[in-house]
Amino acid sequence: VRILLTTVMDAQREKPKGIAITIQDITREVELNEAKAQLISNVSHELRTPLFNIKSIIETIQEYGSELSDEKQQEFLATANHETDRLTRLVNDFLDISRLESGRPYQFGAVHMGQVIEQILRTYQLNAANKSIELSTEVDTPLPAVWGNYDLLIGALTNLVGNALKFTPEGGRVVIRAYVWHPPSDPEQERVRIEVADTGMGIAPEDQPRVFERFFRVENRVHTLEGTGLGLAIVQDIIHKHNTHIHLISEVGVGSTFWFDLAIDETALLPPEQSNVET
């Protein structure tokens, strides 16, 4: 708790009349500060490795450049380039997290998930084809607009589909689904369920609850596949901003499905003259 003591003056502001005691519960504030300090410390640690590698390469080329074969120099430069990409990814993910946590308001309104999914398909079509992965969509038509933020939902699906493609071997399948779903507890209610399913390497039961933690990466894949371990933490933050949860079902060697349910945008249910949503 934080205890504040304030002197209360008399009406003429001449003599103290008494002391006011304010007791504030600052648990949440302390937790947030600790989480921030932890994040900064983790990120700095993560940034150090690629920076160190790039610096070592520059120093080696400076010192021994003339003695190195062209091939060796190209190899060093390719590594430096690769490490720069890693730095960029880390900084981008870090910016996403700090923006999400800044408490700055996001505009929420009607979002057409069909459009979001089309955009994601455009982004990843080439990547999937290069890996001989069949990337497809199954979207209910018509699909009611959901209550959300377009950019955040693009961010969440970019991470989920990016992971699905990354952790699925050649010849596999990735499907993005969007359909109307009725909770069994209240069949009258409509929600839009979004699923990203892959036929990839899967996640062991003991790792499943941990994949949403910041910087968590499943052991022994870490060195072979690119990543920061921040992607799913960002997805979880985004989904929480939509007042809902992200779920995962997965089996090692079979595949993984991530899903979440979004609320229908209420304004979209109003008759057209009362709705300010463009259709």
Residue 181 vs 216, nearer CB to ligand ADP: 216
User: What element of type H or E holds 73?
Assistant: helix 70-101
Query: Is 94 near ligand ADP (CB under 6 A)?
Result: no
Identify whether the C-beta of residue 221 lies closer than 8 Å to the C-beta of residue 169: no
Q: Tell me the torsion sign for CA atoms 160, 215, 147, 256.
A: positive
Identify whether the C-beta of residue 117 lies closer than 8 Å to the C-beta of residue 140: no
Query: Is 152 near ligand ADP (CB under 6 A)?
Result: no
CA 16 to chain centre: 54
Query: Is 198 near ligand ADP (CB under 6 A)?
Result: yes
Q: What letter does residue 145 receive in the DSSP assignment? A: P
Binding test (CB under 6 A) with ligand ADP, winner from 116, 200, 261, 264: 200
Tell me the C-alpha distance between 204 and 250, whole Å: 7
Query: Is 211 near ligand ADP (CB under 6 A)?
Result: yes
Query: Is 109 near ligand ADP (CB under 6 A)?
Result: no
User: What element of type H or E holds 263?
Assistant: strand 255-263
The piece of 2-10, 65-73, 123-131, 217-225 that touches ligand ADP (CB under 6 A) is: 217-225
Binding characters for ligand ADP, 218-237, by CB under 6 A (x = yes): x--x-----xxxxxxx----
Query: Is 256 near ligand ADP (CB under 6 A)?
Result: yes
Rg of the Cα atoms in the chain? 25
Query: Is 155 near ligand ADP (CB under 6 A)?
Result: no
- In the complex, minimum distance from the CB of residue 100 to ligand ADP, in angstroms, rounded to a whole number: 14
Burial (CB < 10 A; 0-12, 13-18, 19+), residue 214, is: buried
Q: Report 162-181 residues binding ligand ADP (CB under 6 A).
A: 163-164, 167
- The backbone region for 13, taken as left when phi is positive above 0, alpha when psi lies in -120 to 50, beta otherwise, is left
The piece of 47-55, 58-66, 120-128, 211-219 that touches ligand ADP (CB under 6 A) is: 211-219
- In the complex, minimum distance from the CB of residue 276 to ligand ADP, in angstroms, rounded to a whole number: 36
Q: Three-class SS of residue 69?
A: coil
Q: Tell me the torsion sign for CA atoms 81, 84, 88, 93.
A: positive
Residue 112 vs 217, nearer CB to ligand ADP: 217
Query: Is 238 near ligand ADP (CB under 6 A)?
Result: no
Identify whether the C-beta of residue 261 lies closer than 8 Å to the C-beta of residue 144: no
Residue 152 vs 218, nearer CB to ligand ADP: 218
Query: Is 203 near ligand ADP (CB under 6 A)?
Result: yes
Positions that interact with ligand ADP (CB under 6 A): 159, 163-164, 167, 198, 200-203, 211, 216-218, 221, 227-233, 256
